[in-house]
Chains A and B, each alone.
Chain A
Amino acid sequence: MAENATTHDDHWDTSTAPLIISVGILFLCLAFIFYFVYDSGLAAIISLGLGTPLIIGGIVIWVNETIDGESEGLSVPSMGWFILAEAMIFLSLFANYWLQRLLTPDWPPAGTPAAMPVVIPMIMTVFLVASSFTIHAGEARLENDDKAGFVKWLKITMLLGAAFLGLSLYEWGDLIGQGFTVSTNVYSTSFFSVTGFHASHVLVGLCIFLTMLLPALKNRINTGLVKAGALYWHFVDIIWFFVVSQVYFW
């Protein structure tokens, strides 16, 4: 941000990243439409092949342009507003799930395996809760200006998150192998939607961490980004308590 007024008339601030990412997202939507509506795998793969690099490239440009900016910006309060919106997505999914549980006479409905997983979700809970503490440890290191310590704890957090995702995928594969798929019954529909939505948030969280980690290796760290990303990660962790208590153990 140029503070001196005299340079203002010569140029207008620009960034190529927003348009590039938007076009990439358009291609992702088209890929879905090609594959599921028009049964055209080839067109879907081409759209995917165009959209994904555009999104990744756009994010790289964006991070590269902004990471050295104001370190204590307004990212944290705005992340709070974003979390409000995210919470509403989960609330509507849970509302749908609770309603169906109340309206269905015999629960769990036919087609549900006799033994739903118990041990794996517990391990996953431990991983995710631990990762909330590790990212907090990373933040504390950063406040003491210990950049190497921050990078170490960030890596541990990302490993825990990835392990969580891996276990989630393993458990999904196991359930699908037992014939419990999205279309089995209302429970399977809600189960895969809620856990899938949560897993996608873990994935987004990991991507946010990646946009911190890669520049951090070159000693470029933006404190505002770290705090906002950590706040998002805590939110994902809290939502998991609802997921695990409602769709697994209730």
Chain B
Amino acid sequence: MGKVLSEWIFTTDHKRVGILYLIGSIAAFCIAGIMALLIRAELTYIGPTITDDPTTYNVWLYFHGAAMILGFQIPALTGFMANYFIPLMIGAKDVAFPRLNAFSVWLFFMGVVLALLTFVVPDPPDIMWTGYPPYSVITTGNTALYTFTVLLIGFASIIAGINFLTTVSFMRAKGMGWNQLNVFVWATIAAFVIQLIFVPVLGTAVLLIAFDKYLGTNFFDTTTGGDVLTYQNLFWFYSHPAVYVIFLPFFAIIMEIVATFCKNMVFNYKVVVYGGIGGIVLVSGEVWVHHLFVTGMPDWIRVGQMVTTLLISVPVGLMLIGLVGTLYKGSIDLSRTPMQYAMGFIFLFLIGGLTGIPNAIASLDLHISDTYFIVGHFHYVMAVAGTFAIFAGVYYIFPKMTGRMYNETVGKIGFWLSFVGTNVAFWTQMEMGLAGMPRRYYDYAHLPQFESDQMVMTVGSVLIGIGFVLALGNWIHGAIYGEKAPDNPWGSNSLEWTTATPPPHGNWPVLPTIDPDWHPYNYKGKR
């Protein structure tokens, strides 16, 4: 037992590091999900509902946002999935630097520990996940906790990025060319390039608010010539590309699932990879100013940034065409839970994507900025669509990872509950936003017309919660009691399914060699 435990916590194996990432990110997801339900409970009725203290409500909002993005989505996608899939997909025995990989996951865990101190310290951070000064500098809340959480998790993802870029560049299976990589590998290394370029900027920004608050520097202190908007620029210079860090892997995992369950070649593979994924990397750094449209700026910047923001829909559109095109003339198998999540994802992502366009258009954004419309939009396009993709991915890799099968019926019930709940909650939220409900409010006594909508939204969020809890329970039950899984239950052509289930240390007894005409999505004659 002691040997097993020490082989887990001191492990340098990419599969075990990946599973540690999964455990940490699911833990963050659960706690942040409880925060979401508390927020919804508080907002169900006008006036104080479950807390009298608006600061407590702000702490919930802070933790929900910070933990969902930094603790759940980014680590689950670029931590768990990258670790579990990439070395298997490229036919490598491990990553380039196994120790660095273990260092990355433990730094992430330390970041989660710091984030959890929010519930222990007497003056928890109450600065949202954005940490805007001057409030973050003058608040009595513990801004340092926020800074160090971001720094540790950010550094963890930088070393993960270095590791995976090196791995994919130099450790592909013998004979595997760049055009034979899975879309997921491409998308994830693109996400890591974005991380490497932009995370340091976020790290600097949050470090500077800690400097301002605790060391007395003048970066954001307007009385001595500092500029608060510098922070917002630095922050969104990372945090908008962070959306693509989340988007690229979650979209690509859906691509893998759709290709497998349609037994079809990815439509427009090269356009998806070079135009879609490459295009997003190129454009992602020029779009952040649309988060600042309401802060006051010359019109030429607004219009220019409106154009660059709208431009990002071109590569996203190329990827979506690739995804929907993969369905065309495929032998679609909708009976499996991962595929159902994938189809649900396409619906949510389409609604979220289309409601993003008004946010990019400056004249419309001035009206809907800081309303529930924005919140509904990014929950559709990133938060829930991303979570659906992560859940689809976990269901998809579950047989390979645990060697057992989950329960198909429970999986589908969980999917439908959260799918219906998502649309009930966030469609209602977008309607409220268009009618004028501002975001982040603790109480809305002056806007009583929204009380019935808020109640509907709470019901929707409870449905989402039940659906996700069913999925989590299904995994835990399946991992322990599920029936034994075959090596390739989905009949996929991709390399990760060719090894034993669960994969042994070193992944393959003899590392695979790739023929020049092999392709992960080549199902000719295999349907």
Task: Report Cα–Cα, A216/B216, bound state, in Å.
Answer: 43
Segment at the interface with B among A83-91, A144-152, A169-177, A202-210: A83-91
Stretch of B25-33, B128-136, B203-211 that contacts chain A = B203-211
Check A8–B509 contact: CB distance below 8 A: yes
Q: How far is the CB of B315 from chain A (nearest CB, A)?
A: 22
Q: Which of A25, A32, A182 contacts B110 (CB 8 A)?
A: A25
Query: Which secondary structure characterizes the binding site on chain B?
Result: helix
Interface segment out of the listed A96-104, A113-121, A129-137 = A96-104
Within 8 Å of chain B (Cβ to Cβ): is A19?
yes
Q: Contacts A13-B11, A22-B106, A89-B200; is A32 near B505 (CB within 8 Å)?
A: no
B residues in contact with A93, CB < 8 Å: 204
Do A183 and B216 form a contact, CB below 8 Å, given A16-B10, A18-B12, A77-B166?
yes
* Residue pair B145, A33 in contact (C-beta under 8 Å): yes
Q: What is the distance, in angstroms, from B508's C-beta to the closest C-beta of chain A? A: 8
Interface centre among A9, A65, A73, A85, by most chain B C-beta atoms within 10 angstroms, is A85
Contact of A14 among B7, B145, B169, B205 (CB under 8 A): B7
Q: Which chain A residues numbered 24 to 57 have a C-beta less than 8 Å away from chain B?
A: 25-26, 29, 32-33, 36-37
Q: Name the distance in Å between A41's Cβ and chain B's nearest Cβ.
A: 14
B102 within 8 A of A: yes
Q: In the assembled complex, which residues on chain A have CB atoms less than 8 Å from the CB atom of B351?
A: none
On whether the beta carbons of B200 and A92 are closer than 8 Å, the reply is: yes
Q: Does B219 count as interface, using CB distance less than 8 angstroms?
A: yes
In the assembled complex, the Cα of A195 lies from the Cα of B391 at a distance in Å of 46
Total number of B residues with any Cβ neighbor in A under 8 Å: 68
Among B99, B113, B170, the residue within 8 A (CB) of A18 is B99
Contact status A78-B200, CB under 8 Å: no
Residues of chain A within 8 A (CB-CB) of B114 are: 26, 29
Closest to B9 in A: A19
Q: Assess the A109–B225 pair: CB atoms within 8 A.
A: yes
Shortest distance from the beta carbon of B463 to any chain A beta carbon, whole Å? 37
A120 CB to nearest chain B CB (Å): 23
Partner-contacting stretch, out of B226-234, B399-407, B409-417: B226-234
- Contact present for B148 and A29 (CB under 8 Å): yes
Distance in angstroms from A81 CB to nearest chain B CB is: 4
Tell me whether B359 is interfacial, beta carbon within 8 Å.
no
Q: Report Cα–Cα, A74/B100, bound state, in Å.
A: 13
Q: Which of B157-165, B292-300, B440-448 contacts A (4 or more CB under 8 A)?
A: B157-165
Tell me whether A21 is interfacial, beta carbon within 8 Å.
yes
Whether A18 contacts B106 by the Cβ 8 Å rule is yes
The one of A23, A77, A189 in contact with B218, judged by C-beta atoms closer than 8 angstroms, is: A189
Q: Is B173 among interface residues, defined by CB-CB distance under 8 A?
A: no
Does B162 contact A37, Cβ atoms closer than 8 Å? no
- A185 is an interface residue with CB less than 8 A from chain B: yes
Interface contact A37-B99, CB-CB below 8 Å: no
Which of B191-199, B247-255, B322-330 lies at the interface with chain A? B191-199
Are B96 and A37 within 8 A (Cβ)? no
Q: Taking the nearest CB of chain B, how far is it from the CB of A55, in angstroms?
A: 12
Question: Does B10 contact A15, Cβ atoms closer than 8 Å?
Answer: yes
Q: Does A235 contact B (CB under 8 A)?
A: no
Q: How far is the CA of A183 from the CA of B200 in the complex (A)?
A: 24
Question: Closest chain A residue to B217 by CB distance?
Answer: A189
| A186 engages B166 (CB within 8 Å) | no
Interchain nearest-CB distance for B235 vs A (Å) = 10
Docked-complex contact A182 and B215, CB < 8 angstroms:
yes
| Interface contact B103-A89, CB-CB below 8 Å | no
For the complex formed, measure the closest distance between the CB of B226 and the CB atoms of chain A, giving whole angstroms.
6
Question: Contact mask B1-36 → A, CB, 8 Å, 1/0?
Answer: 000001101111100100000000000000000000
Q: How far is the CB of B10 from chain A (nearest CB, A)?
A: 4
CA distance A193 to B366 in the complex (A): 36
Q: Does A62 contact B (CB under 8 A)?
A: yes
Are B13 and A13 neighbours in the complex by a CB distance under 8 Å? Answer: yes
Question: How many Å from the CB of A150 to the closest CB on chain B?
Answer: 24
CB within 8 Å of A: which B97-136 residues? 97-100, 102-103, 105-107, 109-110, 113-114, 123
* Residue A249, interface by CB 8 Å: no
Please determine whether A19 and B170 come into contact, CB atoms closer than 8 angstroms. no
Q: Is there contact, CB below 8 Å, between A14 and B216? A: no
| A-B interface, 8 closest residue pairs, ranked by CB to CB distance from nearest | A22-B106, A18-B103, A183-B216, A18-B102, A14-B10, A88-B200, A36-B214, A29-B148
> Which residues of A are at the interface with B, using a C-beta cutoff of 8 A?
1-2, 5, 8-9, 11-19, 21-23, 25-26, 29, 32-33, 36-37, 62, 65-66, 73-74, 77-78, 81-82, 84-86, 88-89, 91-93, 95-96, 99-100, 103-104, 109, 182-183, 185-186, 188-189, 192-193
